[in-house]
Structure 1
Amino acid sequence: MDTTDPAVQLYLISPADVGGNFVERLDRALGAGPVAAFQFRVKGVDDHEAARLAAPLQEVCAAHDCAFIVNDSIALAKRLKADGVHLGQGDGDPREARDILGREAQIGVTCHASRHLAMEAGEAGADYVAFGSFFASKTKESEHRPEVDILVWWQRVFEIPCVAIGGITPDNCGPLVSAGADFLAVSGAVWSSGDEAEAIRAFQSAITSAAAG
């Protein structure tokens, strides 16, 4: 996950079901354009099954130079030798994650609509902070609705990259790009689109247009 590239980058989050032909779908998505990171987010399975599901997806990510990030579980991230972990507010401390996963791991923290939580995450050594949900999302319900200006504020004050998340589509992402999001975390707009490769290309086109002003 390249946190030094100044361009706004895509951060792709998995759907709940990563079985069946999902390996091929991920390969098509990542092949359609640059994607900085893929977050492996599965619920209701033990670590053994999660590791089985993750293995071919990690290979696809590696082939496309896309960081493989594990959602919620520091232990699973360590087991998989993942590129990093994304922590919710109840999933552990970034300092603990750093001790366990090492200096090179990418550690992100969900901060909802809270400037205070984001500052705490930065002080604890997070590599990026995530704000959202900016829009209604079918992937994950959230009562938190940050204003776009939280991205403007973050970029003005801090150097740590920020991720915008929640119901983001090619049609509504422009203001988030203009406000200074470093990454757009997307899921449903890609996996429910019917054509994941075309969805990735639509995002790239929208990002380019918004960045050009």
Structure 2
Amino acid sequence: MAGYELHVISNGKLEEATFARIAGCIHPYVTAIHIREKEKPAEQVLRLIGAALAAGVPAERLYVNGHLSIAATVTLGGLHMAGSSPQLTSLHDMSNRALRTGVSVHGVNEARQREQEGADYLVFGHIYETGSKPGLPPRGLELLSEVTAEVSIPVIAIGGVTPERIRPVLEAGASGVAVMSGIWDAADPEQAVRAYANELTIKESKQR
């Protein structure tokens, strides 16, 4: 995808077989498939990882969200932590099997701090109104632009990002986008992920 990142984040609602089937279809088009399953214990998350690997998803494209015990024992593409997590420097020894470490942020100060702690990338949002954050006003493109101007690591924009909204998000300095319902809830997840990937590639080509 010519430098821009596409992260697809699990929605906590899919059965193991369905998750693995969709992950197996979409992985060629994405940077990362995040297994973000807040309600599931580590054992179930490990089963999801195993199912995705069996479906042909490369380990480096699987990111686990929040399960330090898994990141300490299984080599995956990344470990992603919530904004409320402890300093990343204190977690280093427990997460050194992950190739990248990312964290969610919601403002400029958080972004600066997490970069100083050693984050490899940040996820910032929500940018637009989204059904996953009902009643919460979006943080918008202006604040996204402020965040991207203050850090040198990639900032991935999340929240209500459709293929049609990719251009303004990238113009605000984002290094890519993260998507949840736009992929998993689509009638054809592979077609949906290709629409995102194509837009990211097109925008990169136009900037050359």
Query: What TM-score do you get using the length of structure 2 for normalisation?
Result: 0.86
Distance 2:135 2:118 in 1: 25
1:21 is aligned to 18
1:38 is aligned to 33
Q: State how 1:2-81 maps to structure 2 within 5 Å.
A: 7-16=3-12, 17-31=14-28, 33=29, 35-59=30-54, 60-62=56-58, 66-81=60-75
Q: State how 1:95-134 maps to structure 2 within 5 Å.
A: 95-102=89-96, 105-112=99-106, 114-134=107-127
The answer on whether the counterparts of 2:72 and 2:94 sit within 8 Å (CA) in structure 1 is yes
1:191 is aligned to 184
Cα-to-partner distance string for 1:54-77 (whole Å, 9 max, x where unaligned): 212145321xx7521111222232
Secondary structure, aligned partner of 1:97: helix
Superposed displacement of residue 206, structure 1: 2.2
Superposed displacement of residue 84, structure 1: 2.1
The answer on whether the counterparts of 1:61 and 1:68 sit within 8 Å (CA) in structure 2 is yes
Secondary structure, aligned partner of 1:134: coil
| Identical columns (%) | 24
Unaligned runs of 5+ in 2: none
Unaligned runs of 5+ in 1: none
Distance 1:9 1:183 in 2: 4
Rate the CA distance shift 1:79–1:67 in 2: closer, same or farther, 3 A.
Answer: same
Cα-to-partner distance string for 1:91-124 (whole Å, 9 max, x where unaligned): 3321123222228631111112x10000010111
Superposed displacement of residue 171, structure 1: 1.9
Secondary structure, aligned partner of 1:173: helix
Identify which range, 84-93 or 123-132, moves more after superposition. 84-93
The answer on whether the counterparts of 1:134 and 1:147 sit within 8 Å (CA) in structure 2 is yes
Superposed displacement of residue 130, structure 1: 1.4
The answer on whether the counterparts of 2:124 and 2:157 sit within 8 Å (CA) in structure 1 is yes
Q: Is 1:158–2:151 an aligned residue pair?
A: yes
Rate the CA distance shift 1:80–1:181 in 2: closer, same or farther, 3 A.
Answer: same
Superposed displacement of residue 145, structure 1: 2.6
Q: How many residues align?
A: 204
The answer on whether the counterparts of 1:6 and 1:182 sit within 8 Å (CA) in structure 2 is no
Query: What TM-score do you get using the length of structure 1 for normalisation?
Result: 0.84
1:148 is aligned to 141
The answer on whether the counterparts of 1:111 and 1:117 sit within 8 Å (CA) in structure 2 is yes
Distance 2:142 2:200 in 1: 18
CA RMSD of aligned residues (A): 2.4
Identify which range, 139-148 or 169-178, moves more after superposition. 139-148
Secondary structure, aligned partner of 1:98: helix
Superposed displacement of residue 144, structure 1: 6.0
